[in-house]
Amino acid sequence: MMEKREATELLVRLVNASSEPGRPMRDVLGVVRPILEDLCFDITVEEHSLCPTLLATHGDPVLLMSGHLDTVDLGEGWTHGQGEVVGDTVYGRGALDMKGPCVSMLLTAERLVGENIGCAITFTTDEEIGMLGADRLAQAHPELGQIPLAIICEPTNMRPAIAEKGVLQFRVQTWGKSAHASMPELGSNALTSLVHRLSDLLDAELFGTSSQDPVSVNLANISGGNLINVIPDSAKAELDIRFSAEYTADEMLGIVKKLLRADHDLLGIEVLHELPPFRSEISPDFLAKIENYLGEMAYSVPYGTEMVKFGPVNPNILILGPGIVELAHRPDEHIDINEVMRAVKAYVDMAKMVTSQ
What is the Cα 195 distance to its own chain's centre? 32
Q: Quick one: 97 or 110, whose CB is closer to Zn ion?
A: 97
Min dist. Cβ of residue 109 to Zn ion (A): 19
Q: Quick one: 126 or 233, whose CB is closer to Zn ion?
A: 126
Min dist. Cβ of residue 321 to Zn ion (A): 9
Min dist. Cβ of residue 303 to Zn ion (A): 9
Alpha-carbon distance 306 to 133, whole Å?
Answer: 10
Judged by CB under 5 A, the stretch of 76-84, 91-99, 136-144, 170-178 that binds Zn ion is: 91-99
Please tell me the count of residues contacting Zn ion according to CB under 5 A.
3
- Binding flag, residue 97, Zn ion (CB under 5 A): yes
Window 148-167: residues binding Zn ion (CB under 5 A): 154
Judged by CB under 5 A, the stretch of 59-67, 90-98, 168-176, 203-211 that binds Zn ion is: 90-98
- Side by side, which strands form the sheet with 85-86? 85-86, 89-91, 334-336
Q: Quick one: 125 or 316, whose CB is closer to Zn ion?
A: 125
Alpha-carbon distance 194 to 145, whole Å?
Answer: 46
Q: Quick one: 166 or 323, whose CB is closer to Zn ion?
A: 323
Q: Quick one: 126 or 336, whose CB is closer to Zn ion?
A: 126
Q: Quick one: 68 or 197, whose CB is closer to Zn ion?
A: 68
Alpha-carbon distance 345 to 348, whole Å?
Answer: 5
Q: Quick one: 32 or 98, whose CB is closer to Zn ion?
A: 98
Q: Quick one: 57 or 156, whose CB is closer to Zn ion?
A: 156
Min dist. Cβ of residue 2 to Zn ion (A): 22
**In 3D, which of 164, 156, 163 has the Cα closest to residue 322?**
156
In SS3 terms, the chain reads as: CCCHHHHHHHHHHHHHCCCCCCCCCHHHHHHHHHHHHHCCCEEEEECCCCCCEEEEEECCEEEEEEEECCCCCCCCCCCCCCCCEECCEEECCCHHHHHHHHHHHHHHHHHHHHCCCEEEEEEECCCCCCCHHHHHHHHHCHHHHHCCEEEECCCCCCCCEEEECEEEEEEEEEECECCECCCHHHCECHHHHHHHHHHHHHCCCCECCCCCCCEEEEEEEEEECCCCCECCCEEEEEEEEEECCCCCHHHHHHHHHHHCCCCCCCEEEEEEEEECCEECCCCHHHHHHHHHHHCCCCEEECCCCCHHHHCCCCCCEEECCCCCHHHCCCCCCEEEHHHHHHHHHHHHHHHHHHHCC
Min dist. Cβ of residue 68 to Zn ion (A): 6
Judged by CB under 5 A, the stretch of 27-35, 98-106, 117-125, 173-181 that binds Zn ion is: 98-106
Min dist. Cβ of residue 85 to Zn ion (A): 21
Min dist. Cβ of residue 97 to Zn ion (A): 4
What is the Cα 115 distance to its own chain's centre? 31
Judged by CB under 5 A, the stretch of 44-52, 96-104, 244-252, 319-327 that binds Zn ion is: 96-104
Min dist. Cβ of residue 20 to Zn ion (A): 14
Residue with the closest Cβ to Zn ion? 97
Q: Quick one: 134 or 237, whose CB is closer to Zn ion?
A: 134
Min dist. Cβ of residue 44 to Zn ion (A): 22
- Site of interaction with Zn ion (CB under 5 A): 97-98, 154
